[in-house]
Structure 1
Amino acid sequence: MSTHPLPTGTGELSSPPHDFPFDPTHGYDRRGLLAVTAPQGPDDFADFWRERHARARRIDTAPRIEGPWVTVDGMRVADVTYTSADGVRIGGWLTVPADGRVTQGCVATHGYGGREAPDLRQPPPETATIWPCLRGLGTRSLLPGVPSKPAAHVLHGIGARESYLIGGCVADVWCAATALQALVPETAGRLTYLGTSFGGGIGALALPWDDRFRAAGLTVPTFGNHPLRVTLPCTGSGESVRTRLAEDPSVLDVLAYFDAATAARHLTIPVHVGAALFDPSVPPPGQFAVHNALAGPRELVVLRAGHFDHPGERAETAALEEAQRRFLSGPDPVLPHPTA
């Protein structure tokens, strides 16, 4: 494991001033966070996900470019749609280098706020990227009967593992990869993943079962260590899960199949993680549980704060994004000599 320090000028253990009614560090310092473990998970955890992945790979995603291409900052951008599990049509964007040179592909997902446009700065150079709005979210994948607000979206179908909406969002990632490779065949040799917050947790759930992906970047990933997560107050989607669990304890049995830290135990490709010491939306112990459980090569950038405006945030984000671009560049990520 390689661990990168915070950018100069940020204090590793000093929390930003806040007025939350709870401590967004939940009493953990860096040493404690690096010791958080992952649940083992149900005995059929891997079988459950492998079967879902096999079903998703059989889907005819029928990707389509919708409307004209436009060129922005050296990238060609177009609207795209494709079919995912349950016949759901997913909308998003496709970006390719304007000079036509493509050496890898990327599936880039979003936080629980959805996405209104692709972020052209995120992927490495020479990357063709598909930017799906996962089902029920963003501006492109709203669905009748599916709530778009995070507090309700995260509970939709939670009564059973087969109906839980999060499973459909994971399938959207697998089908996005299929659609990207159909639209840009040059991406078939090397596929990467980028996901932040909601997208970070979804990525951890999706990646272990799909051997098309070669490397990933996960930033402040959610859904890590549900048994611990549901004991920690937050301002994110986890708070509605905590409330629902108080009413129906059986929800934890379903959540056991959707634990990003448990899934990380099966994730062997190189993964770059940005995890925060202070985060009111996604409790830091859950973020670090995902990182700590990774079974393959990993690199960690420790952030002073996540989901919270704070001094030095711009420099911190820029340093993280540059580290991720470096990590995901080239035929195989090259990890620096471990420093921690």
Structure 2
Amino acid sequence: MALFDLPLDELREYRLTRPEPDGFDDFWAGTLADARRAALPPGLSAVPTPLTGVTTHDVTFTGYAGQPIRAWLNRPATATGPLPVVVEFIGYGGGRGLPLDWLIWASAGYAHLIMDTRGQGGGWRGGDTPDPDEYGAGPAHPGVMTRGVGAPETYYYRRLITDAVRAVETATELPGVDASRVVVAGKSQGGALALAAAGLVPDLVAAVVSGVPFLCDIRRALTITDSDPFHEVVRFLRANPGAAERTLRTLDHVDSVHFARRITAPAILSTALMDATCPPSGVFAAYHAIQGPKQIEVYEWDGHDGGRTHFDVAALEFVDDRLN
């Protein structure tokens, strides 16, 4: 993919000026209140693995509407005392996979809670959590961008974002965790969920890691990239042109930029100038909206790989500097 978005000097000035939808805060406050009323204590069970340096627990907690969500909890095997915890969210189409897929943060001395993604896990890494509210058959392929998109109340990402917030709240309740040092992290869809969770429960989040985040400035992204997942919406609207107004209104309720405006914790983001999956203008719009201390890593020659392990190193150093 060649350069397709604004030049870098214009990206560094780009802001989203469109207002958030009316009733945005009330919508999310009501959604989260319902989930909390239905919440149950998390369940943990030890999982044997071949690893000697990391211990793993299989975690089940309650997300949207009290529905069960699976997660892994990895910890350094020799850790003593409460640890900072990283709550990580997964990219589009992927599930939690196996505990051995998630070793970076535990190897660096953190507790690491990896949230499974409801109804996904049919694309590139398996999942274990169905989406019973709409699609009880479990993981699906190829996409979720238009599931329930006719209204904010029925939209898939209402459920998934609520799960992400509940994962953060659950992390503060886990044994051996320092609830004052909670990090939210993820890339692509996971990066969007990190921004959403940090914006919805800012008092619980001590740092944010959001690599090439999805769902940023959605209306613009739909018009400048032909890549999925955004292009799923375009194909849907070609078939259903009369649904455009209500579809865009629904998508406004999950735009990462609106959540970013509520973030006060230190944050590190990444973007790649050749990323047609999550266009850089949207990432910069989210970055500029963040209220707390922040930095952005720009990878001029990358696509949606977005810095690869170079960004992982930057994220580890960023979090270490602020939490330890």
Matches within 5 A, 1:145-164: 145=135, 148-149=139-140, 151-164=142-155
Change (3 A) 1:104 1:27: closer
CA separation of 1:206 and 1:58: change in aligned 2, threshold 3 A: same
Q: Look up the match of 2:182.
A: 191
Separation in 2 of the partners of 1:245 and 1:296?
37
Q: Gapped runs of 5+ residues in structure 1?
A: 1-17, 334-340
Kept after mapping to 2: 8 A contact 1:128/1:184: no
- 1:75 aligned to 54, 60, 83, which one? 54
Give the AA of the match of 2:205. F
Cα distance, 1:71–1:59 mapped onto 2, change above 3 Å:
farther
For the pair 1:32 / 2:24, whether they are aligned, the reply is: no
Q: Give, as a single letter, the amino acid of the residue that structure 1 aligns with 2:13.
A: A
Shift of 1:261: 1.1
Q: Distance in 2 between matches of 1:212 and 1:235?
A: 34
CA contact (8 A) 1:245 1:252 kept: no
Q: Which residue of 2 aligns with 1:281?
A: 277
Pair 1:123–1:215, CA change in 2 (3 A) = farther
RMSD of aligned Cα (Å)? 2.3
Matches of 2:105 and 2:297 in 1, distance apart?
A: 16
Whole-angstrom distance in 1 between the partners of 2:40 and 2:51: 27
- CA distance in 1 between partners of 2:285 and 2:90 (Å): 20
| 1:82 partner letter | F
Supply the AA of the counterpart residue of 1:47. D
Tell me: CA distance 1:84–1:281, structure 2 relative to 1, closer, same or farther (3 Å). same
Distance 1:37 1:123, change over 3 A: farther
Deviations 1:72-128 (A, max 9, x none): 262112222222112321112111111123431111011013131342114673311
Q: Which position in structure 1 is the counterpart of 2:229? A: 237
Q: Equivalent residue for 1:111?
A: 91
Bigger helix share: 2
Q: Determine the C-alpha separation between the residues in 2 that align with 1:71 and 1:179.
A: 27
Correspondent of 1:142 among 130, 133, 140? 130
Match of 2:21 among 42, 51, 64: 42
Compared with structure 1, are the counterparts of its residues 97 and 330 closer, same or farther at alpha carbon in structure 2 (3 Å cutoff)? farther
Gaps of at least 5 residues in structure 2 are: 122-126
Which residue number in structure 1 is paired with residue 157 of structure 2? 166
User: Which of 189, 203, 208 lines up with 2:199 in the alignment?
Assistant: 208
Name which of 187, 204, 217 aligns with 1:225.
217
Taking structure 1 as the reference length, the TM-score comes to: 0.82
Structure with the bigger RCO (C-alpha within 8 Å, sep 6+) is: 1
Contact 1:234 1:282 in 2 (8 A): no
**1:262 maps to 2:258:** yes
Point out the more displaced range, 281-290 or 255-264: 281-290
Cα distance between partner residues in 1 of 2:113 and 2:267: 19
Paired-residue identity, %: 26
- Which string of whole-angstrom CA distances, capped at 9 and with x for unpartnered residues, describes residues 251-273 of structure 1? 11111111101221121111100
Distance, in Å, in 2 between the alignment partners of 1:242 and 1:202 is 22
Query: What does the per-residue CA deviation read over 1:10-39, in whole Å, with 9 as the maximum and x for residues that have no partner?
Result: xxxxxxxx5xxxx5x324221122222123
**Contact 1:66/1:81 (<8 A) preserved:** no
| Contact persistence 1:110–1:195 (CA under 8 A) | yes
Q: Is the 8 A contact 1:70 1:78 kept in 2?
A: no
Aligned to 2:124: none
Moved more, 115-124 or 170-179: 115-124
Do the aligned residues in 2 keep the contact of 1:198 with 1:221 (CA within 8 Å)? Answer: yes
Moved more, 139-148 or 259-268: 139-148
**How far off is 1:149 after superposition?**
4.5
1:86 equivalenced with 2:61 (yes/no): no
Aligned mates of 1:34, 1:170 — CA distance in 2: 28
Aligned partner letter, 2:222: V
| Pairs aligned (count) | 305
1:127–1:71 distance in 2 versus 1, CA, 3 Å: farther
Q: Tell me the distance in 2 between the aligned counterparts of 1:285 and 1:330.
A: 28
Contact 1:122/1:321, CA 8 A, preserved across alignment: no
SS in 2 for 1:204: helix
2:213 alignment partner, SS class:
coil
* 1:266-299 superposed Cα distances (whole Å, 9 cap, x missing partner): 2111110011111132222222221122121101
Contact 2:5 2:224 in 1 (8 A): no
The alpha carbon displacement at 1:57 in A equals 3.4
TM-score by length of 2: 0.85
